[in-house]
Structure 1
Amino acid sequence: MKKTFPINVIKHVAAQLLLAIFLVVTGSAEPGHNQNVLDREVTLNIKEKKLEYVLNKIEDQTKVTFVFSPKLIQSNRLVTISKSKEKLSAVLNELANDLHLEYEVAGDKVILKRQISDKNGVEVDNSVPEISPIPITGKITNLKGEPLSGVSVLVRNKGGGTSTNANGVFTINAEDGDVLVISIIGFKTQEITIGGQHELTIRLEDAVAELTTVVVGSRSLRPRTNVESPVPVDVINSKDLLATGQIEPAQQIQFTAPSFVSNRQTIADGTDHIDPASLRGLGPDQVLVLVNGKRRYNTALVNINGTVGKGSVGTDLNSIPGSSIERIEVLRDGAASQYGSDAIAGVINVVLKKKTGTQVFAHAGQQYAGDGANLQFGFNQGFKLGKKGGVLNLTGEVRHRQPTNRAGDYLGTVYNSNATQDEILIAQNGGWDRKNNMYIGNSKQLNAYGEANLELPISNKTKFYAMGMYSYRKGKAAGFYRYPKQTTQVVAQLYPRGFLPYIESEINDRSVMAGIKGKMASAWNWDVSTTYGGNQFRFDVTNSNNASMGTSTPTSFYCGKLGFQQSTTNVDFSKDFGSNLKLASFNVAIGAEMRIDMFKITPGQEESWKNYDPNSGKAGGAQVYPGYQPANAVDENRSVVSTYVDVESDITEKLLVNVAGRFEHYSDFGNALAGKLALRYKILDALSIRGAISNGFRAPSIHQYFFNNTSTQFQLINGTLSPSNTLTVRNSDPIAKALGIPDLKEETSVNYSLGITAKPSRNTSLTIDAYHIDIKNRILLAGPFRRTPAGTSIVDQVLNNAGFGTDVQVVQAFSNFVDTKTQGVDIIFSVSPQLGKGNLDLTLAANFNETKIKKVKGTDKIPAVPDSVGNYFFFDRAEQSRIELANPKNKVSLSANYQLKKFGFMARATRFGKVTSWNADPRLDETYDAKVVTDASVSYNILPQVRVTIGANNIFDVYPDKLKWFQIGNGDKTNIYYSNTSDGRFQYSRNATQFGMNGGYYYISLSANF
């Protein structure tokens, strides 16, 4: 008969083995030393608390460390013990006898094990009665006794959590011995151990000395809410981001921050894969992005096609996994003096999660039209490190987005420019699908992310912190269809019916950051950190050809890579001298930054760019996106050194003053200096006025210095979009200089803001902020400089002299040739009334803005002289409208969120203002009216830790206005019909966007917290 061993014996042997390994690693102490440990005195007066709680108390008094398996010793058992200055040995013996435990001493460590059998060899019954959770109720206030709503209440190391309602009240199930973690931004986190009490009153202290809290707009250690700060700051928590029903961070911010706009582009080369975003109607490169308060690198991509933000180099917010975000802070004010270049419109700071526990996110949905399916899975896990508050938070996320297609019926000719003959050829070739020969909409994307955020106390006043992030994204987007009639572009033997070429992207983002921060004995806070990160964008073209190669052409091409890397080192110091000066606060912050920017262009394979038969008239290179040539190769870097000082003080109880200044030196163009003065004055306790004046700057990006390529861009000529080979040259290129384009220099700005803030009650707030921003020497793509039919213009001469034949029709280069003025107002009103037994949050958020071109600067070769309808030779009306009219001039959102026990209801209506697209021919100008997009969802806690949400974005399936056909001509002449639709292929504008062109979207999502 085969002998079996009881499971308890197996566990006992395993525990002994683990103990042996532990003793080998740590080394056991000598018996005499063990005896000293057991002689240490313990005083306890505990009634019905968990064993783990008792052991923690003993550890605090004796400085020993208990080593055990909570499950093996059943540490959730309730213990009652009373001792006064008793030796540790006696206490341990009593616990061991009562709870059937064994213990061994190794140095300052006590190893606890489960007793398998008594002295007579009889197996011990260690079963423990089930402990039922009990409801705990409480009220949370600030030190003034004012209730705090939205405070997070969690049971540490367990599932389950809640938050306070408008009256500061919460209810949660917990057991005796459980630890409640109470937290909210701006206040110190508290931990409370449950020990028989069922009702709690908790008062939270302001987080005045919290080194871990990062709030943009102020380096003061004194926390300030959005109504107390001298400049407007929106704080959007992860709960609000998830409530949008969006899964990409840029789209989440679009529907929560009134002055932020981000829309997906289509038929725009690389910009199909990275969404340009703007703040207060300015460019994507005029807003600075931070992660955990440290500068985030720009993307490698330069937006050179006909989209919003043309000529800009922005920061890709969608390269950050949404599951890792704790909150997003949006500073809506010029801040170049505080944070450096790019912060003309403001700053977006992404704060990553730094909490323990497990969070899981899942999302599935698709468009009403049946395409555009999205799948997301995110996982966030936080680990407690040590006993001093260390934490490691890890995130993994995968997102898959299917493409959408909103193309119209193609009405043009296919095989022949003669319509009658073309119909005969179509019939002979089996017909033609006029609906599906273009893909206009979202690109296809597969995204995978990993992120780690670490904070580890080294001592009571010093912390080490680090962050690492990686994302891999694979995308696929279509270009314009190449028809058989386009004989210079199509190899008919390979594609007798033409072809739809695809641009496939491979985008890699990597970043690491590490630093140490602490506090000196002299009360100076210090922070030293270094950050390294970058973006690489690889282009591949598939289902295409190089027409100059004939039938020997490949159909897939590697077209090269763009790369941008950035290394930033910061040293920061701050101290509050308020008590020395008998002021509530007088915070002084000083610091320095060293940054290195690196930009690289790697050429593609030869077949992707070369014209093998230039005399044939056939186009060379891969159709849709010719590869980067060896002549385009770039491997450049520059260095930036800066220093700043920032002083903020509560001069009186009513007056707050902030003064900041920053100096930066660039190795490639020189110096920049910026300053700021901001004030806030309390008229009443509940009413304040605030204002700021600052000058700012934005240095030309290294991309704008060195980017160059040849691309196929479609220009509207006589009402028809026609392909034009467009040459983008460096600012320093002889072609740019022959056109009179001067060397690049920094953009400079002057920002003015004035606002009021009101908080008439604890759950009601109002902020109204007006702003005016003047920008000089704005950097844009000067052009398109086009060849003329006669071939006699300066552009023709310059291109011919440079050796470019007629295969290049257009040239463009970066230049500081525009001055602009932007002004507007932001309004945010929120109220959280108690409604029945539930809590209602209402928010009205609005932005109104207008940007005007004040001046267009010509070159010494091509003066800025507009024609009769406003077209400059190098800056036509279409390019002007991209700056002034392509983004909505206003956005108004009204949202309601109601929570009732396990149920949640959300409804949000967002009105996007009208947009306009001008044309070089004013008769083709179009304006698209304002639209209201409505979102709604219902959520339910199927378990205390698990919440399911069913909802729809754009629930009424609203689309932008469709493009129009125009009739041009007189009654006595043949009427000519022109259209911005490109022969019917475009139903909606791709030049001016409000909220996209995909229609309604329904989804189901799941979130769980453990």
Structure 2
Amino acid sequence: MKLTNLLLVTLVFSVTSLFSQSEIKGTVKDSDGIPLAGANIVVKGSTNGTTTDFDGNYTIEAVSDGTLVFSYIGFETKEKKIGGQSTINITLSEGNQLDEFIAVGSRTAPRSNTDSPLPVDVVGAKDLTSTGQASFDKALQYKIPSFNTVQTPVNDATSLLDPYEIRNMGPSRTLILINGKRKNLSSLLYTQTSPGRGETGADISAIPTDAIKRVEILRDGASAQYGSDAIAGVMNIILKNSANEGSATIRTGITTEGDGEMFGIAVNNGSSIGDDKGFINYTIDLSKVNQSNRPGTVNAAGDAADFTSSNPNSYGSYLNGSLLGGVDLTGFTVPQAVDEFTNNYVGTADYNTRNAAILASNAQGLATTEEFLGRRPDAGNINGSPETASAKFEINTGYELSENTNLYANAAYVYKKVNSFANYRTPYWKPLSEGSEYLADFFPGNNPNTVNGYDGYVPTFEGLLTDYNATIGFKTVKNDWNVDVSFTTGGNTQTYNVNNSHNANEVYSPSTWVDANSNGTLDDGELSQGSELYRSNSQRSFSPGGTSFSHNVGNIDISRILSDKISIGFGSEFRTETFEIIEGGLASYDGGGADSFAGNSPENSGKFNRYNFGGYFDIAYDVSDNFLLNGTIRTENYSDFGNAFVWKLSSRYKFLDDKVTLRGSVSTGFRAPTLHQIYTQKAQYSFVPGQGIQVGGLVNNVSSTANILGLPQLDAEESTNFTVGLGAKINKNFNVTVDYYNIAVKDRIVLSTEIGATATDAVGNSIGNTPLDQVLNNNNLSDISFFVNALDTKTSGIDFVANYKNISLGDGTLDFTLSGNYTIQNERDGAVKNPQLVEDAGQSVVNATQEALFFTSRPKTKWILGANYNINKFGFSFNNTYFGKTTFKQQGLDENLRTEFTPKIVSDLGVNFNATEKLTIALNINNLFNVLPEWGFKAENAAGQALIDDTSLTYYGITSIQEQSNLITFNQRYSQMTYDGYHFSQLGTMLNLSINYRF
């Protein structure tokens, strides 16, 4: 905290030691002597600026030894030293485009993109809308090579918010800013087997695309400049600030499969405030997207093996059968269990008797399965894109309080409702057996072979999300000191409902004692059992609760150019965070809870908070006009885990008349464990290959259970980042950048794989006597998982961007863009850091599936080649995105195999027609050639190749390789849509039409 206190003292001293300014006036004209209205004038190295009026006149305050920067779109940019003058007139020549000043990457004076020592992508509003994608995150997927996101099916709460990441680092390691201020995290913690497992991120899909002026993506570690979460980089979303421009857009779309219908309307508009002293810009975006369904054709034999309760070929039945001769079949797959049982029993009376029973039950179980799937080949499964309705509101405003002081504010509110489905409970998965006869009354159907036509049921999952953020602050310039003071608040709440389900657990109300003979003792017949609460008395709608996250942030940022060569910046931030696990209704968790999604129990619910306080100091030294050095230090103190100190050094050198720039940086970073990771504790349903649906437990690190198990508390991740790059601006139309990055993360926080019992009997029950076994048995859990600082990782790669624009072709102009990302290295560094209980159980918190999620489930390389051609009233765009190879190791997959996803090119076509100066009609065909993900098995070794080549039948007429496919696709339910490894749209071709009218 000593450094923090020193920074605060420096801050106070600097604010009070301001120097005097004088007023400068003048006129800005073009080379023909015509006044330029709206030209920009900025005091170099500051945010103090103004614009010319209709006659080209301006007035600004600045110190006498300062420098003014004059710029206007389509004209050269000029700098003019004040030198004590009170009047400065400027003439700008046409021909050069205005270099946009970027707000991200520096805590001193803003710099243009070409002057920045750091790699920054700037994506304009037009670039985002040209993709034809319905949401901001999906638009970035097809604009930024190192950015990836994917829609995941049947992942419960994940349907509300798709995980995203930059440079394969997960959603929690990219900091999101709105107008330079930190956006709140989502309350969602990804706990299923999907990209981003164990992490959370800000909900960038909640930001309406029509409200965005541009997006600045800093592809470099920036914890020293911005604090926690900036290990992979920073995304700064700049909102529109126009006071006199606006538009209304109507969007509609549909997939070529005839589903996923989309309709939306967005309005963006602005207005001036108080004699043009301020502005207000607002956006309203309302949309509805219908469900898209892409189920697979379910394999009957695989489903019969997994779910036919009377089928002796099911895994559990073989374990039960092993009791006959004491054969331990724990950990065997079904075919292995068949062989082991046969080898131990063949030729015996027990074998002959059991074999006859197996054959008879096989036929009965398979016939039941085939009958249902003959009527419903997809097993009633609904997976793909859920039905979504959303309303988004954004406002951005600013007001000039005085000549050098501006008030600014922005606010947003988002409402999103998602309707999705759990896996269909088939009648052979949830049969009418003793104790469950009530299902026929709960879910009547049209099955001719069952009571009331019972044909199974499908629970629904309905999610409601609200997200808000707001910032208010002021910027003032006095004697060349730039002061920015702000307060930011934000929050995200997600609550859920489960319908068309039931609680199948045996739970009774408390027993009643009636002292019939008034003798004060409990006699026979005086204690009556409580009534059964669920099963046949169960409700069918449940409120499982949800989660909520909010933060409040205060910032003070100060900067000044001390001379032509040195500028400084420093500031402080105070942040409070609150995370709440919202308790569900009693029936949603009692006894095990609602089928498909258990609610939050009281002991797992609560409200948790923390605060942190930090400060930074930044100095930039322009050794010469070409050579820049920049350094930043930062210290932070968190109330729950302690201190963090990080630093950053960066540099830039320009040569060949500023046409080539060499840049690089080295820095340290950190990411604090989120409150979600520290406090989340829950029971959750998941599919375990070969064993059906199991209930596991997620144990948090501050609970009594964690103490029993000896789980360590979480600490911050630490990183070391190195970046070096080369940029060439050959001419005003052609530029190229190449950047190498290397990110080493120490003590990376992961959600462990499922840790099971240390020892089991023949039927899979825990018989060990360790604290782990006791926790599992006492809570009726098959396994537990938890968060732990388990990994050190290394990630490196290359980013490439090239732009060539304004190529004359016929009567029009042609632009080309080629950008790409290639991952050189993304892997674990050293051994997994297992807690002692996991080591004692002979297990690991990171298995092959986890490793694949971290390191190989995103494209090794991704390239985007785009072309835009504008001619007269038409604009044509053709973008091709190459998604490179990904590999995966699904849970249950044979260790000698992996799945590999084939590289694909997704092409998007856009046509714009400018019907009038104000009316534009746009047609986008996304995924023009209906390219879908494809995967196949690859052998890790000779044993794997032998398994691929083996076409012999094992059980139910299934080959060994077919069984592997069944395991990873839930018996082909997810042949097109799966949780793992896919990295682009799985819905096929989408047609989108939009009509935009500019006010």
- Whether TM-score is above 0.5 comes out as yes
Residue pairs, 1:405-424, within 5 angstroms: 405-411=293-299, 412-413=303-304, 417=311, 418=361, 420-422=363-365, 424=367
8 A Cα contact 1:323 1:378, kept in partner: yes
Q: Cα deviations across residues 405-435 of structure 1 (Å, max 9, x unaligned)?
A: 1111122237664553246547988963122
Alignment CA distance shift 1:362-1:864 (3 Å): farther
Q: 1:969 to 1:206 in 2, by over 3 A?
A: closer
Distance, in Å, in 1 between the alignment partners of 2:214 and 2:372 is 57
TM-score if structure 1 supplies the norm length? 0.76
RMSD: 3.2
CA 1:138 to 1:560, structure 2 compared with 1: closer, same or farther past 3 Å?
same
Counterparts of residues 482-561 of structure 1 (less than 5 Å): 482-487=425-430, 492-493=439-440, 494-495=442-443, 496-520=454-478, 522-548=479-505, 549-561=534-546
Separation in 1, partners of 2:586, 2:263: 38
Which of 435, 445, 448 is the matching residue for 2:378?
435
List alignment gaps of at least 5 residues for structure 2: 1-24, 26-33, 42-50, 55-70, 80-90, 312-360, 444-453, 506-533, 939-946
Distance 1:459 1:188, change over 3 A: farther
User: Equivalents in 1 of 2:127, 2:951: separation in Å?
Assistant: 56
- Closer, same or farther in 2 for the Cα pair 1:272/1:200, shift >3 Å? same
- 1:981 maps to 2:954: no
Which residue in the other structure is 1:935 paired with? 908
Q: Is the contact between residue 900 and residue 937 of structure 2 (CA under 8 Å) also seen in structure 1?
A: no
Equivalences for 1:134-283 in 2 at 5 Å?
215-225=103-113, 227-283=114-170
Query: Deviation at 1:621?
Result: 1.0
Deviations 1:84-120 (A, max 9, x none): xxxxxxxxxxxxxxxxxxxxxxxxxxxxxxxxxxxxx
Code of the residue aligned with 2:863 in structure 1: it is V
2:292 equivalent among 397, 404, 407 = 404
Aligned length: 808
Amino acid at match of 1:855: G
Q: Tell me the CA shift for residue 464 of structure 1.
A: 0.6
Contact 1:735/1:799 (8 A) holds in 2: no
After alignment, is 470-479 or 913-922 more displaced? 913-922
Query: Structure 1's 138 and 673: CA in aligned 2 closer, same or farther, altered over 3 A?
Result: closer
Partner in structure 2 of residue 883 of structure 1: 854
Aligned with 2:197: secondary structure? Answer: coil
Task: Give the CA deviation at 1:137.
Answer: 14
Deviations 1:331-390 (A, max 9, x none): 000000000000000000111111022211221111111111221211011001123441
Preserved contact between residue 290 and residue 296 of structure 1 (Cα < 8 Å): yes
Which residue in the other structure is 1:163 paired with? none
What amino acid maps onto 1:710 in structure 2?
A: A
SS in 2 for 1:955: coil
- Identity in percent: 30
**1:293-323 CA distance string (max 9 Å, x none):** 0000100000001100100011110111111
Pair 1:768 & 2:742 matched: no
For the residues of structure 1 that align with 2:776 and 2:408, how far apart are their CA atoms?
A: 55
For the pair 1:677 / 2:677, whether they are aligned, the reply is no
Cα distance in 1 for residues equivalent to 2:279 and 2:408: 10
User: Take 1:727 and 1:154, find their aligned partners in 2: how far apart are those partners?
Assistant: 64
Instruction: Give the letter aligned to residue 459 of structure 1.
Output: S
Letter in 2 for 1:834: S
> Would the alpha carbon gap of residues 841 and 203 (structure 1) be closer, same or farther in structure 2, given more than 3 Å must change?
closer
Distance 2:373 2:673 in 1: 54
Are residues 1:959 and 2:932 paired? yes
Question: Which amino acid is 1:234 matched to?
Answer: D
| Cα distance between partner residues in 2 of 1:185 and 1:300 | 47
Confirm or deny: 8 A CA contact 1:140 1:201 kept in the other structure.
no
Q: Which of 471, 489, 498 does residue 414 from structure 2 map onto?
A: 471
Distance 2:555 2:587 in 1: 45
Determine the structure 2 residue equivalent to 1:854.
829
Paired letter, 1:663: T
Q: 1:433 to 1:647 in 2, by over 3 A?
A: same
**Secondary structure, counterpart of 2:294 in structure 1:** coil
- Report the CA distance shift for 1:430/1:999 in structure 2 as closer, same or farther (over 3 A): closer
Q: Which amino acid aligns with 1:840?
A: L
Q: CA deviation at 1:734?
A: 3.2
Q: Give the structure 1 partner of residue 393 of structure 2.
A: 450
Equivalent residue number for residue 32 of structure 1: none
Structure 2 residue aligned with 1:991, among 966, 973, 980? 980
In structure 2, relative to structure 1, the CA distance for the partners of 1:505 and 1:986 (3 Å cut) is: same
Asked if the contact 1:903/1:938 (under 8 Å) is kept, the reply is yes
Where does 1:350-369 land on structure 2 (aligned, <5 Å)? 350-356=237-243, 357-369=245-257
SS at match of 1:610: helix
- Once the two structures are overlaid, the 10-residue window that deviates more, 679-688 or 665-674, is 679-688
Deviation of residue 856 (structure 1)? 3.7
Q: Does 1:759 align with 2:729?
A: yes
Is the contact made by 1:893 and 1:908 (CA closer than 8 Å) also made in structure 2? yes
**Shift of residue 972, structure 1, vs aligned partner:** 9.8
For residues 476 and 744 of structure 1, do their structure 2 counterparts lie closer, same or farther at Cα, with a shift above 3 Å needed? same
Task: Pick the aligned partner of 1:587 from 555, 567, 570.
Answer: 567
Give, in whole Å, the separation in 2 of the partners of 1:428 and 1:949: 48
Preserved CA contact (<8 Å) 1:739 1:859: no
What's the counterpart of residue 948 of structure 1?
Answer: 921
- Which amino acid in the other structure matches residue 460 of structure 2? Y
Q: Which string of whole-angstrom CA distances, capped at 9 and with x for unpartnered residues, describes residues 25-66 of structure 1?
A: xxxxxxxxxxxxxxxxxxxxxxxxxxxxxxxxxxx9xxxxxx
State the Cα distance separating 1:769 from its structure 2 match. Answer: 0.1
Other structure's SS at 1:995 match:
coil
**What amino acid is aligned across from residue 986 of structure 1 in structure 2?**
Y
After superposition, residues 45-60 of structure 1 pair within 5 angstroms as none
Aligned equivalent of 1:910 = 881
TM-score, structure 2 length as denominator? Answer: 0.77
Contact 1:962 1:987 in 2 (8 A): no
Which moved further from structure 2: 642-651 or 588-597? 642-651
C-alpha distance 736-384 of structure 1, shift in aligned 2 (>3 A)? same
> Equivalent residues in 2 for 1:276-355 (5 A)?
276-355=163-242
- 1:634 is aligned to 606
- 2:404 is aligned, of 450, 461, 464, to 461
Q: Distance in 2 between matches of 1:185 and 1:477?
A: 53
Change (3 A) 1:957 1:429: closer
Aligned equivalent of 1:749, options 719, 724, 745: 719
Matches within 5 A, 1:2-21: none
**Is 1:786–1:795's contact at 8 Å kept on the other side of the alignment?**
no
Q: Matched residues in 2 for 1:311 and 1:798: separation? A: 24
Worse-superposed segment, 343-352 or 789-798:
789-798
Q: What is the Cα deviation at residue 560 of structure 1?
A: 0.2
* Structure 1 unaligned blocks of 5 or more: 1-59, 61-135, 144-152, 157-180, 190-198, 612-619
Counterparts of 2:211 and 2:149 in 1: how far apart (Å)?
Answer: 20
Matched, 1:567 2:556: no
Matched-pair contact (CA < 8 Å) for 2:937–2:948: no
Q: CA deviation at 1:927?
A: 0.4
1:52 — aligned with what? none
CA distance in structure 1 between the partners assigned to 2:721 and 2:148 by the alignment: 20
Would the aligned equivalents of 1:140 and 1:204 in 2 still touch at CA under 8 Å? no
